[in-house]
Structure 1
């Protein structure tokens, strides 16, 4: 508690030494005891007001950070939609209807993906996944959520599950190396396997210290999940790997 207290709060508490010293010096005087009681009450009121103000300022900073993050996410999405609309407009002007249909299908797929993410059931995880494009420029994140899958309705601790999944993504994110050509892509596939949550992680691209990725993923799981590294993509590219994260049901 003392570590989190403001400097002026600590000074106010230390000031209690003055009435305490008065009691010690004038032990037979009644006014020293009254002074100590009034001084103590005043000090705690001052400390409470300071800590309340500090807490309010902290909440205001968190709120401002969340608002700025939301604005950046919306701005980034608006930029993406404008790009898609410009491409669509160009194909329509050139009368390339087949290409225009492909753009519309791509827009619809992204809208469906964002809709599923917003309803995944874990607000902090949904916010992280939806805003990922605004915070990471080393890889693209694609997410596919099984229809009807709501993580908050599964038998897991929501906060811990959300923190773990964010950690798994960040392991890959922080190891992704800017490619000279092409693009790094991490795809997450969420699905229900007989009541248990499974996440297939498919990564294609460059990774720094790739040999220790599984070890880092295990650390993120904190004992609530298991990593199964697949090898079906290894034949296609030396820079591709598939991992399936199993979340056994709590005992």
Structure 2
């Protein structure tokens, strides 16, 4: 039993003392004492329960912050490892005198840096961090993020819509992950999320490549996670499991 329940039970049990007194010596003084004791015990119990809940919330927040820091460190280590691999590949080409391959490697690094810069400028910290940390989750789904031109969603979406977009994107990625769990583990599956600006909306296109099970079931799940939000989802008529999320800007 949680400590706050013990506090409430103890405060409630203490009321028995004035009740016994009232039964033993009935009278106005005993009745008044019972009322005062009951009120005091209730106030004490409420105060202690609130204090215990505040302590519990503070502990949960501390644990969440520790988990967030740990995830951030993992993401940084993963990115450092990726960049070291790219540099080692380029260094190998240079040593072998394969200048054309070296140029291709540099161009690939430049393109990746450009895309990561665009992702970081989306302006929604929780969403950006999720994208940056995703590769450390060790899941059988490759996630690629592309941003067309420059897109600063923090300047065009209200805080509530930013939060809704983040929650829907995370839920959608989870849906794509689970949609192909029954397939062959050797088969590569990829989800490409592309963001671009379209007049008074932002569009996030989710394009799945590989086996993702039943298209209709996946679509129903995507529509379910957008319920009670200002986002809407539409299917794109392609050979892939592709859907578009429409997020209205603040007008």
TM-score by length of 2: 0.82
Residue in structure 1 matched with residue 196 of structure 2 by the alignment: 191
**Structure-2 change in CA distance of 1:18 and 1:103 (3 Å):** farther
Residue in structure 1 matched with residue 136 of structure 2 by the alignment: 134
SS at match of 2:149: coil
Does structure 1 residue 166 correspond to structure 2 residue 164? no
CA RMSD of aligned residues (A): 2.9
Conserved 8 A contact 1:227-1:245: yes
SS at match of 2:243: strand
Displacement of 1:147 in angstroms is 2.9
**Structure-2 change in CA distance of 1:159 and 1:12 (3 Å):** farther
Conserved 8 A contact 2:11-2:41: no
- Structure 1 residues not aligned, in runs of 5+: 235-239
Conserved 8 A contact 2:15-2:34: no
What per-residue deviation string (whole Å, max 9, x for no partner) do you get for residues 185-222 of structure 1? 21111111112111122221121334421111111221
Q: How does 1:1-251 map to 2 (within 5 A)?
A: 6-19=4-17, 21-22=19-20, 24-25=22-23, 26=25, 27=27, 28-29=29-30, 32=34, 35-36=37-38, 38-156=40-158, 157-177=161-181, 181=186, 183-222=188-227, 224-232=230-238, 234=239, 240-248=240-248
Displacement of 1:41 in angstroms is 4.3
Displacement of 1:52 in angstroms is 2.1
SS at match of 2:211: coil
Measured in 2, the distance between the counterparts of 1:102 and 1:37 equals: 78
How many matched pairs? 243
Displacement of 1:133 in angstroms is 0.8
- Structure 2 residues not aligned, in runs of 5+: none
Runs of 4+ aligned structure 1 residues displaced above 4 Å come to 30-38, 177-182, 248-251
